[in-house]
């Protein structure tokens, strides 16, 4: 499943209890993991993660008590660490409807740790969600993989001077630099996009913004306002608002005031 499918499913309230996030950079995997975690704790009736409810805000600030990040201890995840997760996952969440465990570098679980994880996944507590970030999911047991939904991220494209920077990266770079002239220039090709191309462009921009947030290049507030703006663009595009108008909206929303 691709990130865009995942977004649609989560917004429709179709949350699964276990995910493997693979592909892309470690920053992009982290961003996608955080996105799922937010959707899992979001208390809005639909459109999770809404970005506005108390749970979303706490998750963005990294202070939600029902989202836990699990890092490896030393070179791998130990069986004791996974047993600890199992114990905590059995407890009811503090505030949200779900408790979320994001296992970073899940492919570094040793076989015993994977078996402990498998036991959790075979009989998951109804309120728990597990997100396994893995560069190399082939290192996970088939039995673990088969109990998770896999989210495949697209590889990061090279950007910057001399590279083949995508239009979305050019827009984000100009906005981040506060260069309104470069931003207007970067949005020129967007005016000519067809109806089917626009959602692809906004999806790419959203993905990049989330990856940069995970990499620490973009603040939570900045990424949230970009995502809100893109949601607005998607809605307008869906009702046939022209690409030129949407490019104008992006310019107004992203320019340095
Ligand atoms: Zn929310």
Tens digit of each residue's pLDDT (9 = 90 or more) over 40-77: 999 998 889 888 899 999 998 889 999 999 999 889 99
Q: From the CA of 51, how far away is ligand 1's center (Å)? A: 5
Percent of the chain topping pLDDT 70: 95
Question: Is the predicted pLDDT of residue 164 greater than 70, yes or no?
Answer: no
Q: List, for residues 167-211, the tens digit of each pLDDT value.
A: 888 888 888 777 888 888 889 888 888 877 888 889 888 888 888
CATH architecture, domain 3-153: 3-Layer(aba) Sandwich (3.40)
- Listing from the earlier edge strand, what are the strands of the sheet with 18-23? 67-70, 99-103, 128-133, 18-23, 149-153
Cα 130 to chain center, whole Å?
14
Whether 122 and 89 have beta carbons less than 8 Å apart is answered as no
Number of H helices, E strands in the chain: 11, 5
- Give, as one character, the DSSP assignment of residue 109: B
Q: How far, in Å, from the CA of 197 to the mean position of ligand 1?
A: 28
CA of 135 to the centre of ligand 1 (A): 28
In this prediction, residues 217-225 reach a mean pLDDT of 81
Query: Ligand 1 centre and the CA of 162: distance in Å?
Result: 40
Higher pLDDT, 149 or 188: 149
pLDDT for the residue 159:
44
Ligand 1 geometric centre to CA of 98 (Å): 13
Rounded to the nearest angstrom, the distance between the alpha carbon of 73 and the centre of ligand 1 is: 32
């Amino acid at each position: 499943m691709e990130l865009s499918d995942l977004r649609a499913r989560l917004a429709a309230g179709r949350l699964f209890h276990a995910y493997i996030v693979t592909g892309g950079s470690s920053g992009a995997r982290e961003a996608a993991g955080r996105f799922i975690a937010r959707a899992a704790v979001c208390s809005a009736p639909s459109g999770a993660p809404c970005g506005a409810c108390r749970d979303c805000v706490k998750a963005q600030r990294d202070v939600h008590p029902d989202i836990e990040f699990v890092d490896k201890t030393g070179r791998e995840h130990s069986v004791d660490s996974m047993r600890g997760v199992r114990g905590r996952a059995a407890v009811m969440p503090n505030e949200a409807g779900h408790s979320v465990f994001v296992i970073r570098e899940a492919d570094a679980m040793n076989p015993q740790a994977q078996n402990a994880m498998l036991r959790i996944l075979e009989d998951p507590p109804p309120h728990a969600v597990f997100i396994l970030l893995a560069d190399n999911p082939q290192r996970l047991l088939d039995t673990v993989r088969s109990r998770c939904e896999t989210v495949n991220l697209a590889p990061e494209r090279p950007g910057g001077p001399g590279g083949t920077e995508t239009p979305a990266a050019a827009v984000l770079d100009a906005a981040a630099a506060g260069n309104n002239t470069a931003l207007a220039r970067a949005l020129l090709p967007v005016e000519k996009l067809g109806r089917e191309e626009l959602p692809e462009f906004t999806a790419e921009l959203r993905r990049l913004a989330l990856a940069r947030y995970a990499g620490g290049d973009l603040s939570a507030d900045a990424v949230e306002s970009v995502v809100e703006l893109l949601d607005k663009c998607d809605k307008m595009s869906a009702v046939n608002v022209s690409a030129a108008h949407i490019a104008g909206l992006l310019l107004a929303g992203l320019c340095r005031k």
